Amino acid sequence: MSKFCTLEEALSVINPEDSVVSTGVIGWITPDALLKGVADRFEETGYPNNLTFYFPCGTGDAMHIGGMDHVAKKGLMKRIVGGSYLNPVHPVTGERPKLMQLIQANEVEAYSWPIATTMLWLREVARGTPGYMTKTGIGTYVDPDLQGGRFTPSAEENLVEKIEFRGEKYLFYPTRPLQVAFLRGTSADENGNLSFENEALVSSNIGIAIAVKACGGTVIAQVEKKVPLGSRMASDVKVPGSLVDKVVLVEDQQFVTNIERPVAAYLGGKPTPPSELPKPAPGADKIIARRASMEVRERELSIFGFGASGDVPLVMAEDGKLDDGKMYNYEFTTEHGSFGGVVMSGWQFSANINPEALLDGLTQFDVIEGGLCKFAALAFAEFDSHGSVNVSKFGKANPGSGGFVNIAHNAERLVFTGTFTTAGLKTAVSDGKLSITREGRVRKFVNTAQHITYLLKEGVSQRRQSARLITERAVFEVTEEGLALIEIAPGIDLHKDILEQMEFEPVRIADPLPLMDASLFVEDYQE
């Protein structure tokens, strides 16, 4: 009996109060038709309602690929547990994502768990254990001694516990039943065997399917092609049909918004020359990325986050460091499982051009949690006098931590990238010197961060991590004593442009204070 059915038939299994788990990474592998279908059904009938959604990653882009924004409706969504949320303003309407509006209005019980936590928690749900236990995240916003991962006042239930095991403290995430899974693949046959040949990522689709089936729930997949039984190599099938209950054919599955090249470039097998990759626009972010690229080493598994840090491989490509086969001397990855090639930035982030291998999400976080990503380049929104980094909640933005907590906790060498101030910052380069034409309204070096995403000073002092903060105008080293200023950009005034823009003073300023490398400031620009 075929597992293919209509969208309406597939969604009819969802009941009020059910827990639905799904994944996507921005626009990649987002089961958009299924999520939109639930929202449309709710609008028409009022059912299903009061659903709990688990999204390990930021699913959809809240623009052309709505993803979790589709189901951000009061009454439909009772609770959400998300690894990351989307904040960008829509370029046409100027509107914030509907999910962010729901969170800011306290109309949903919103929680944020690190991506790895949600994915590895799925494994424990599948195994029927009491829950997932980890040291990662102690002392951060997910610690119940602080916010316990809560993002809204209505999120009153304690989803995270702090326990003691063999004399040591751990965070404990109890398992909970899951009734419905939404997956997205490329092809399926009558038995529901799923392959992902046109998908640049797999993410946690396998883990989700196993967890939901183990709970006695229903796994629903959307695909773009129906193929005959036995027509594919077994190695191409990533989710066996035994783990899939219903399949919906969606022939116009969308990919990432404004994708800059054919999807095939993200799948491997036909390499794109690094010289043909997009070049980041001149500006402060590019200066930061180029300076961060000087920290990258050959033959060292290096993981990159969103923002200026994600531009590092593209800057290296532009500078010719990946030409003549040298691309294969570097081991680049993200938390989403693509290995090798060049990490892309912006809406293409998470998928690599010219990948050499692809892991599923749960296995990738085993790599990360195992400390195998020796070098990490990540963004920062705030750094405080106590040595804490914040990327999860600041001002009106509630992005969550993504894979940040797990990556930062387990890497050996860390680089945090970001502009020195934000909200209106304008810079210019001329004659090899940097100038601040308009200072940002918001300081990022603060006395106390609004959220604690990672206790960096603790990592440096207790686990012997090394860490640098790289901005467009200064470079800092994080020491056991605190923040040390080790480089300054040419044209920048130490007191006016650095010290007066910080809420605390560095514990040490190098004397003499070296200038940042002159090659960073040869590209004249005016922002």
SS (H, E, C) 364-380: HHHHHHCCCCCEEEEEC
Q: Report if residue 216 sits inside a domain.
A: yes
Domain at 169, CATH number? 3.40.1080.10
Active site residue 199: no
Q: Report if residue 268 sits inside a domain.
A: no
- Taking CA atoms, 328 is separated from 448, 459, 469, in Å, by 42, 31, 27
Number of separate helices (H) and strands (E) present in the chain = 10, 35
Handedness of CA 301, 304, 310, 311 (dihedral sign): negative
Sorted by sequence, the CB contacts under 8 Å of residue 337 that are 6+ apart come out as: 201, 202, 203, 358, 359, 360, 361, 363, 364
Q: Which amino acid is at 447?
A: N
Same domain flag for 211 and 294: no
pLDDT at residue 256 in the model: 64
Neighbours of 223 (CB within 10 A): 27
pLDDT at residue 206 in the model: 96
Active-site residue, from 335, 382, 472, 487:
335
DSSP per position, 110-144: EEE--HHHHHHHHHHHHHT-SEEEESTTTTSTTST
- Whether the ω angle into residue 97 lies within 30 degrees of 0, i.e. cis, is no
Same domain flag for 163 and 57: yes
Q: Report if residue 234 sits inside a domain.
A: no
Q: Report if residue 39 sits inside a domain.
A: yes
| Beta-strand pair 433-438/466-470 | unpaired
Handedness of CA 150, 153, 155, 156 (dihedral sign): positive
Same domain flag for 161 and 302: no
Cα-based angle 11, 121, 377 (whole degrees, multiple of 5) = 105
Which ranges of 294-399 does DSSP label H, i.e. alpha helix? Answer: 312-318, 361-369
Same domain flag for 361 and 456: yes
Same domain flag for 282 and 139: no
For the chain, what is the domain count? 2
Q: Report if residue 265 sits inside a domain.
A: no
Q: Which amino acid is at 526?
A: Q
Q: Report if residue 438 sits inside a domain.
A: yes
Name residue, tokens 């090394």: 466
In three-state form (DSSP H/G/I as H, E/B as E, the rest C), the secondary structure along 388-424 is EEECCCECCECCCCCCHHHHHHHCCEEEEECCCEECC
Same domain flag for 133 and 62: yes
Residue 163 parent element (H or E): strand 161-165
Angle between helices 115-127 and 361-369 (to 10 degrees): 110
Question: Under a CB-based contact definition with an 8 Å cutoff, are residues 10 and 248 in contact?
Answer: yes
Handedness of CA 211, 214, 218, 220 (dihedral sign): positive
Same domain flag for 172 and 306: no
Task: Give the pLDDT confidence of 473-496 residue by residue, as tens digits.
Answer: 999 999 999 999 999 999 999 999
Sorted by sequence, the CB contacts under 8 Å of residue 399 that are 6+ apart come out as: 58, 84, 85, 86, 87, 391, 392, 393
Same domain flag for 285 and 400: yes
d(CA 174, CA 311): 37
Q: Report if residue 374 sits inside a domain.
A: yes
| Beta-strand pair 109-112/77-82 | parallel
**Residue 157 CB burial class (10 angstroms; 0-12, 13-18, ≥19):** exposed
Provide the edge-to-edge strand list for the sheet that holds 301-304.
357-358, 338-339, 331-333, 301-304, 375-379, 413-417, 466-470, 474-478, 483-488, 508-509
Question: Under a CB-based contact definition with an 8 Å cutoff, are residues 161 and 134 in contact?
Answer: no
Sorted by sequence, the CB contacts under 8 Å of residue 460 that are 6+ apart come out as: 387, 466, 467, 478, 479, 480
SS3 percent helix, strand, coil of the chain, rounded to 5, is 25, 25, 50
d(CA 234, CA 29): 21
d(CA 373, CA 135): 18
Residue among 435, 270, 260 at smallest CA distance from 348: 260
d(CA 451, CA 390): 6
Same domain flag for 216 and 280: no
Task: Give the pLDDT confidence of 73-107 residue by residue, as tens digits.
Answer: 999 999 999 999 977 777 778 788 899 999 999 99
Same domain flag for 374 and 473: yes
Sorted by sequence, the CB contacts under 8 Å of residue 76 that are 6+ apart come out as: 38, 39, 42, 48, 49, 50, 51
Question: Under a CB-based contact definition with an 8 Å cutoff, are residues 53 and 79 in contact?
Answer: yes
DSSP annotation of 266 reads G
| Beta-strand pair 483-488/508-509 | parallel
Same domain flag for 320 and 466: yes
User: pLDDT in tens for each of the 527 residues of the chain?
Assistant: 899 999 999 999 999 999 999 999 988 899 999 999 999 999 999 999 999 999 999 998 877 889 999 999 999 999 999 999 977 777 778 788 899 999 999 999 999 999 999 999 999 999 999 999 999 999 999 999 999 999 999 999 999 999 999 999 999 999 999 999 999 999 999 999 999 999 999 999 999 999 999 999 999 999 999 999 999 999 999 999 999 999 999 988 876 655 555 678 889 998 999 999 999 999 999 999 999 999 999 999 999 998 779 999 999 999 999 999 999 999 999 999 999 999 988 878 888 999 999 999 999 999 999 999 999 999 999 999 999 999 999 887 888 999 999 999 999 999 999 999 999 999 999 999 999 999 999 999 999 999 999 999 999 999 999 999 999 999 999 999 999 999 999 999 999 999 999 999 999 999 999 999 999 999 999 99
Q: Report if residue 214 sits inside a domain.
A: yes
| Range of the structural domain that residue 54 is part of | 16-183+201-220
d(CA 463, CA 139): 15
Question: Under a CB-based contact definition with an 8 Å cutoff, are residues 101 and 77 in contact?
Answer: no
